[in-house]
Amino acid sequence: MKVKGRTDHSLWYYSQLFNVPLSLIMDSNINLQVNDTLHDKVINIPGYIVKEYVVNKDDCIDRVATQLNINIEALSLLNHGDLSNLKQYSKINIPVRITEPIVTGEKNYTYQTLSDDLKRLEEIYPFIRKNIIGYSVQNKEIYEVIVGNGPIRVHMNGSFHANEWITTAVLIAFLNDYLLSITNQTSLANIKTEPLYHYATLSLVPMVNPDGVDLVLNGLEIDNEYCQHVVDLNNGSRDFSNWKANINGVDLNKQFPAKWELEQPRKPQQPGPRDFPGYKPLSEPETIAMATLTMNSNFDRVIAFHTQCKEIYWGFDEREPSYSKTIVNEFAKNSGYKPVQTLDSFSGFKDWFIYEWRKPGFTVELGEGVNPLPIAQFKEIYNESIGIFLAGIYM
C-alpha cells in the first residue's frame, strides 16, 4: 500500500499508525532515512492493500473508522483531503491489513504462476528484494528473492529437477507465510519470526529450472523451436511428466564441479530426460547462474529442496563441518525425515557447496512416492517441512 507523506510525519509514525515493525517500513523505503522530511513523498506500507468503501446514508468519518476499526488518521492519509462531510454513495479508500496468505500453492505451479505470485508478494511486502540471477535456455528469468537483514546468510532453492516442481509451490507457500508472520508480528509453527528477520538474510531461488517445469506441466507447442528436439530426446513421446532435465536434456543437479569426473562415466552419455551430467561441468545457463550467485554471496549454509523419499542428505567427501550434524538433527526433529550423511553420488549443488566452502549443505527430499508427486500431497509436505524451512533460518 502506498500513502503520500506529510511534513509532520515520520517513518516511525507510520510504523506506529499501521502497527508494522519500523525495520520493515525502512526496508520498504530504502531511498529514505528515518528522519527524512516526508512531504509529498510516496511511502510504502507493507502488509496492506487499499480497497474502496461506499459511503452509506448516515455515515460520518468517526462512524466509518469505528465500524471498520481503522484509525481516522490512516483514512485521512489514504484520501488526501477533508473527510468531515461524507456524501452518500461516494467512495473512499480504506486500508485493509492482509491477514491470510495470498499464494495458492496447491495447484500446477508453472513459471507464469511463480512470476505472478512474486509480483503480488512484492506489491504487498515491498521490503523483499527480487533479483534476476540469470536466464534459462529459453530465456526465462531465474529469480532470487531476498528477505531479512541479518548477518547469517542462508540460501534455499527448488525445482532443480523439472518433475519435482512441487518444491517450488511449497517454497513459495513457506515464503508467503513467513512474510505474513513477520509483518503481523505473529508466530509461524510456534516460532516468532520477527527476530529471524534480523538474525538471518534468506536467499531463495524457487525455480532453478523454469523451462523444464513448464515442459512437464504444459508440454510444448508443435511450432516451438525446441519441440522436435525434446520429443526426440524423450524417445518420440510427447508425455514429459517424467522429465527431470533442463530443455537441453542436461540434469542440472549433476552439473557441479564436485568430483563430476567420477559421476560422468556412470551416467548417460547423451542428453535425455534425466541423469545426463553434461559434456562438462557448468555447461548450462541455469547452473552457471546458480554457481555465480553462490560464489558472490558468501552463504553460511544452503538447502536444496527435491523430492521424494523423506530423507535429508548432509555430507560430502568428509568435508562437512561438525555442526552440520546439529543442524540436520534439528531438521529431522521438526519433520520426521531421516538424516543420511553420505551417498554414492557426486556433482550435486549441495555437494559442490560443501566441497568448495566446507560449510553446511543439505538436500531435502520432500514427500514420498514416485515423481512427479501428486499435488494432493501438498498440505502434508508443507506441514512436515515448514520446520525445516524455519530451522534453516534460525540455526
In sequence order, the β-bridge partners of residue 160 are none
What type of residue sits at position 244? K
- Indicate the helix (H) or strand (E) that contains 17: helix 11-18
User: Which one, of 81, 86, 35, lies nearest residue 56 by Cα?
Assistant: 86
Q: Quick one: how far is CA 315 from the chain centroid?
A: 25
Collect all residues with Cβ–Cβ distance below 8 Å to 339 and sequence separation of at least 6.
311, 312, 314, 325, 328, 329, 331, 332
Q: Quick one: how far is CA 29 from the chain centroid?
A: 21
Cell numbers given for 271: 542428453
Catalytic residue among 141, 144, 164, 365: 365
Report d(CA 231, CA 237) in Å as an integer.
6
What CA–CA distances, in Å, run from 152 to 9, 40, 201, 330? Answer: 34, 37, 6, 17
Report d(CA 47, CA 45) in Å as an integer.
7
Of the CA atoms within 13 Å of residue 315, those in its CB half-sphere come to 13
| 320 among known catalytic residues | no
End-to-end CA distance of the chain: 33
Q: Are 297 and 203 in contact (CB under 8 A)?
A: yes
Cell numbers given for 72: 481516522
Report d(CA 68, CA 147) in Å as an integer.
31
> CB atoms < 10 A from the CB of 125, how many?
25
User: Which one, of 182, 167, 156, lies nearest residue 297 by Cα?
Assistant: 156
Dihedral (Cα; 77, 80, 83, 88), 10-degree rounding: -110
Report d(CA 25, CA 125) in Å as an integer.
10
Indicate which residues carry an active-site annotation. 365
